[in-house]
Every structure is written in C-alpha cells, then in structure tokens.
Amino acid sequence: MSLTPFTKHYAIPERATGAVRHYRWINEHAKPLRQPALHTVGPDSLTFERIEGRSVRPEDLPRVAELLGHAHGAAWASDLRSASLDTPHHFRDGTTFDDYLGPRRFALRRRHEQGYLPNRAALHAMLGLLEATAKGPCAFYKDSNPRNFIITSTQDVVAVDTDDLSLAPMGYDLAKLVATLQLTYGPLADQAVTTALLAYNAAAVRHDARLGTTDRGQFDSFLGLHAVLTAPYVGRNGYRYRLPLRFHHRGAS
C-alpha cells in the first residue's frame, strides 16, 4: 500500500519558490543526498513523497558524516568551486542563497541582545571566531540536525527540509549535526566526533584533492559557534541538554 503524500505549506509564495529552487539545486549539484520525490508544486505549498523512518541517532553519525562529505564534495566540484564565503551564491536565474558571514554576524548580535552572550567582549570574541572560520573551500549549509534526515527501514538515509541553504566552510554543517545530537542525547565521546570528522574528510577528498582538510581545531570552532547560535532552542524540539559556551578563539589576545 502506497503512503499518503506529505504536503508542506508556506506562509508566502516566495518561500515555496525558494524551497523548490534549493531542492532542485541539491538534486543537480549534491546528488549523493537523496531527497523525497517532489510530486506537486503549488502557489504556497509543496507535496512530497512520504518517507517512513526515524531520526538520526548518535550511532548513525559516521555514515551520515560520510554522506555529508560526499554531498559537499560533489557540490564543490559541480557548482561551488568559485564561490566565496562572504558573497551570496547566484543561481542561473539571477536569484541567490545567503553567504556565510553576513547572516551569522547578524545572528550573533541578536544572541547578544537576547542575553545569550553576557557582554560585548563575548560578542567580539564570537565575531572574531566567525571571521577566523571563514576560510577554505565552500560547502553548503542545510541545517543538518537529527530530524532533517530520515533513516528508513532499509537503512537508507533521506534528507528532508532543505528549504534554506547558505554557503558555509567545509565541515560546518557536520558540526551542526554533532551539536544537535549532543543537544538531544547528551555529550558524545570525543572519539565519536573525531571518527565522524575523519569519515567526512575521507568522503570529501574523493571529489577533489583540495577538499577533506577540515581539522579538529577548526571543527571545534564550528561547535563553539553552534553552541551560541542554538542556545535559544534548548528546551524545545527535543533539545534537552546544553552545549558549553566558550567565548574565546585562537586569535583572541
């Protein structure tokens, strides 16, 4: 028996249009990521194939890390080779998705206003950390968290909720998955994080020798940024644990 399709509604038509554009971009440039089939495009809704399964758990981290490495490597080789982390990425129809630095500078300042950064010195340190991580080849950021992948009964991994994409350094989106797994399930063993990063790098470098160079120091910097950026969501959406906040970076005096 076939499953009833899933329809997602959007507040404004522009949001639906953007979601379709990002869905199709992933299908063209990040082929290792499987997405549900898109059946119908409405003015303010999209109807997808319904995928049955479960969210990602800590034990799934190595294989999802490998999948992300392949997806980011393929996207770099296909479309992001000339992209810059401080410039929005242009689609062929003239529209864009966000750069890495601008939206995150805004978000960090917002976290300061909300009280998640205790003072301007902490804000300055986090902005410095952000700038320090804006280096290397470009990947895309799809907000990888345990709910944005479905593990099917046949152990296939399906990516969902790809409505919003932005540029990010290689490894940044994997760090978001690690951070949100820890928010959901508690601290992960250090070796588990290292193993995931190694799997990610090994997959990425298969697409070009210049990829797969994210080291653990840079990855920990990404985790530091995610700790601040995700702070408002603790206690919501299954995020039961807190991430440690560290307001420093290697460039700080």
Q: Do the domain assignments include residue 121?
A: yes
β pairing state of 38-41 and 89-90: unpaired
Which stretches of 12-119 are DSSP H helices?
13-29, 61-75, 101-114
CATH number at residue 120: 3.90.1200.10
Q: Do the domain assignments include residue 128?
A: yes
Q: Is the pLDDT of residue 11 over 70?
A: yes
Q: How many CA atoms lie within 13 A of 240 on its CB side?
A: 5
Q: Exposed, middle or buried, 43 (CB in 10 Å: 0-12/13-18/19+)?
A: exposed
Per-residue pLDDT band at 90 (split at 50, 70, 90):
confident
Q: Exposed, middle or buried, 12 (CB in 10 Å: 0-12/13-18/19+)?
A: exposed
pLDDT recorded at residue 93 = 64
Mean pLDDT for 42-58 is: 95
Q: Do the domain assignments include residue 61?
A: yes
Q: Do the domain assignments include residue 70?
A: yes
Q: Do the domain assignments include residue 138?
A: yes
Containing domain of residue 124, as a range?
A: 54-233
What three-state secondary structure class fits 141?
strand
pLDDT digits (tens, 9 = 90+) for 205-237: 999 999 999 999 999 999 999 999 999 999 988
CA–CA separation, 6 and 42 (whole Å): 13
Q: Exposed, middle or buried, 218 (CB in 10 Å: 0-12/13-18/19+)?
A: buried
Beta bridge partners of 98: 166
CA–CA separation, 21 and 64 (whole Å): 24
- Non-local (6+) Cβ contacts of 214 within 8 A are 136, 169, 170, 171, 197, 200, 201
Q: What is the pTM of this model?
A: 0.93
| For the chain, percent of residues with pLDDT exceeding 90 | 87
Residue 193's region, left for phi above 0, alpha for psi from -120 to 50, else beta, is alpha
Q: Do the domain assignments include residue 2?
A: no
- Non-local (6+) Cβ contacts of 48 within 8 A are 5, 6, 7, 8, 36, 37, 38, 39, 160
Mean pLDDT for 57-65 is: 97
Mean pLDDT for 142-148 is: 95
Q: What's the first-to-final CA gap in the chain, in angstroms?
A: 63
Q: Do the domain assignments include residue 209?
A: yes
Per-residue pLDDT band at 176 (split at 50, 70, 90):
very high
Q: Do the domain assignments include residue 215?
A: yes
Total number of domains constituting the chain = 1
pLDDT recorded at residue 96 = 80
**How long, in residues, is the chain?**
253
